[in-house]
Amino acid sequence: MVSDERVPLLESVDATVAALPTEGADAAIVHLAQLYAAQIDRAAAMAGSAAKLARQVREEHGDESALYERVQALAAKVSERDTLDRLGARLHAALVELGASPKARAVKGAPAKPKGASTLSGLRGGLAVGQ
């Protein structure tokens, strides 16, 4: 059964970071990721509150009232989608820096490239630069 309740993004970020082998030197990027997640969570809460208020104002004053128009404009400014568009990629980048994506983990676990001829130079029949 799927619940209508969403897990706060900050909670998910904290769980992810707790599962990573971070060091003291990672504290700033961890904090930044937590700030991004908290801001996205706040935007979701504010958007929900603004939508609820807009419904109340529409019911009490009608959808032609100036008050309703102002509440609608406010609701548009606190859009969860806009915040996610602004901060989602930044949060993702911070998590990638910490190694919290499958691609980042694969890169960290990948063996170092062997020294010698590169694939391209091998196809050209030559040696890699620096040999």
For 82-115, write each residue's pLDDT tens digit.
888 999 999 999 999 999 988 888 887 654 444 4
Q: Given a cut of 50, is residue 130 above it in pLDDT?
A: no
Residue 68: how many other CB atoms lie within 10 Å:
20
Q: Are 78 and 46 in contact (CB under 8 A)?
A: yes
Burial pattern 78-89, b for ≥16 Cβ within 10 A else e, equals: bebeebbeebee
Percent pLDDT > 90 in the chain is 44
pLDDT of 106: 81
pLDDT of 72: 86
Per DSSP, the residues of 85-98 read HHHHHHHHHHHHHT
Query: Can you give the pTM of this predicted structure?
Result: 0.68
**Per-residue pLDDT tens digits for 49-79:** 988 998 999 999 998 889 989 888 888 888 8
Of 2-6, 13-17, 45-49, 72-76, the one with minimum mean pLDDT is 2-6
Q: Is 95 exposed, middle or buried (0-12, 13-18, 19+ CB in 10 A)?
A: buried
